[in-house]
Amino acid sequence: MVDTSHTHGKRVTRVTEVSHPLDPLTESEISAGRQILVDAGYVTETVRFPAVLPVEPDKKATLAWKPGKPFDRSILFVMLDMATGISHEAVVSVTDEKVTSYTRVGSDVHPYGQPPYLFEEYDQVEALVKADPRWLHAMERRGVTNIDDVFCAPLAPGYFGFEDEIGRRMIRSLTFWRANKEDSPWAHPVEGLLVTINLTTGEVVKVQDEGDIPIPQGSGNYDVATVGPARSTLKPIEITQPEGPSFSVNGSLVEWENWKFRVSFNSREGLVLNQVTFNDKGEDRSILYRASVPEMVVPYGDKSINRFWISYFDAGEYLLGKNANPLVLGCDCLGVIHYFDGIAADDHGNPMVVPQAICMHEEDFGVLWKHTDLNFNPDSRRSRRFVISYFATIGNYDYGFFWYLYLDGTIQVEAKATGVVFNGADVPGTAHPHANEIAPGLFAPVHQHIFSARLDVAVDGNDNTVEEVDVVGIPMGPENPYGNAFTYTVTPIETEGSRLADNLKARSWHVKSGHRTNYTGASTQYQLVPQGNPVLMAQPDSYVAQRAAFATKHVWVTKYEPNEIWPAGMYPNQHAGGAGLPAYIAGGDSVVNEDIVLWHQFGPTHIPRTEDWPVMPVDYSGFMFKPYGFFDVNPAMDLPDGNASCSCCGSGRCGTDTCTCTHGH
């Protein structure tokens, strides 16, 4: 493990030596695994690696593992032969130095499905499009003769049963004009022009050219030269921790206050948290075995030729982790920062480092608890949270994934959507039912961002049950003579299935232990509190609803199976549908006092506005996972009373600024 100190209060960890089964893949492991494949004769000049992922170690063996004992480290290499379009999955044990399985991917057999795209293929798309005479003619007809700076966006095509696409490695391209290389392409969409490409044959199979909507000419740039001088009225805010941070890092293991967990990272999911526990009276009590956001879908509601097919699966089609950002102190993270480098693999299967991909820090979060008693004695404690985050950029959008751990045992997950909205063009002033005009002639379609969080829950162990809790009114009568009474109902989820949120009933889902109780005799629990935003708006019989079935429900409950990680299946790219969560629940297994996984879908439904242009302020969405009878009392009762802005004259109570003390104001 390399732990390098830097100035300005930041440290960076890159795990280079594996000491735990759940450590992230290292550069040396990826290199060793690739070399094993080379030596076995599986790697030729035309083979590329769309995905390189850790094989999750056996859960029971991991839970029973003790330091110093051996364990296996295996890697899944997805290998695409670009000459034939045929892909294979190779599992390599770098521990035993051998290929343990080599299986063909059924991309040409129903229900199909292609591996994620390569960076190399993006360059291939631009070269093919710009060499096609039909596209050149379409651009000339629009008055564009200099194509050097034109941007050809490579985009996943979805699945629609088109005969010339099924079972083939396809991609589409939309065109965006630019005045120069520094110009924002998203301000200048070429409406009505769509190119479809077969990546294996290198053939432009179709150029569709409809309409003559003028290319919008307004600027979408947001640099200083365009925006003008920055305001000078904001005074500096400094975040300091003169005694250093309250957390420690040892390899992948992180400890903060009562929390303990392991950080991991891979090219598809990005950030993964493992074995999340909370120390209660000297006992590390388990809450989550594994937690991540392994998939998301961005379906568009516009039926035009340029957008009816758009429904991006940003993890399964493009790889969130591989597209992670190097984070910068003072811009992406503030305070005393600890970074983790992210390790992924490039198109050739070689290790690829994303420096400072994961950011960790503490931040103040207002009042945690407060009360002024009958004698007018105030007590107050400041809240603080621990932040673990990363950002990924997929084309025009940027996504931040933030995990917050609070002093009272609460876990919050937040997705931050920002970047640039994806635009089309129309005649200025046109009334458009599926898009909003955000600048003259520039129309941003309605769309959704639906994230899927996978919570491998372990609330006081692996014998868990999920209960749906609703608040309900009671009709007036003998049970409610004055009309004021209401109650709550508890409905156990007994078999694998899915559920919708209902904010009118304050619906939440409780994960309870099958064996442990608190001091009132009730089962210890954690409560998932949803925001309850809309699920997938597309119609149930639509192609996207078949492919993104996970997004049609807020919650799915499945019995744990080791290979059930991907909500839309392993290969959502050009998949006909039915993979992932619908397949996972097909057996209808019991989920009462079982090792279960809770999947939660959340995210914004976006009707773009003028304020989203030219760069969009962050749109926040997420959920809370809160202790509910997990602790006997408030676990933050023992917080010190001398926090930063609190004057506490030695009495153990937080008073006013009128008293004099050495550790207050």
CA neighbor of 527 nearest in space, from 408, 361, 381: 408
Among residues 23, 209, 314, 398, which one is catalytic? 314
Could you give the CA distance from residue 573 to residue 567 in angstroms, rounded to a whole number? 13
406 is catalytic: no
Cα–chain-centroid distance for residue 103?
A: 28
Residue 444 in contact with residue 608, Cβ under 8 Å? yes
Among residues 289, 397, 406, 571, which one is catalytic? 397
Helical packing angle, 119-130 and 133-141, nearest 10°: 70
Give the other-Cβ count within 10 Å of 380's Cβ: 18
Could you give the CA distance from residue 523 to residue 531 in angstroms, rounded to a whole number? 25
Could you give the CA distance from residue 653 to residue 375 in angstroms, rounded to a whole number? 12
CA neighbor of 127 nearest in space, from 155, 147, 157: 147
> Which residues, in sequence order, are bridge partners of residue 577?
none
**Residue 300 carries which DSSP code?**
B
Give the other-Cβ count within 10 Å of 88's Cβ: 18
346 is catalytic: no
Residue 337 in contact with residue 244, Cβ under 8 Å? no
Residue 416 in contact with residue 616, Cβ under 8 Å? no
CA neighbor of 38 nearest in space, from 346, 349, 322, 343: 349
CA distances for 360 relative to 293, 344, 589, angstroms: 17, 19, 38
User: Interior CA angle at 126 toward 123 and 132, to 5°?
Assistant: 140
Give the residue numbers annotated as catalytic, written as ranges: 314, 397
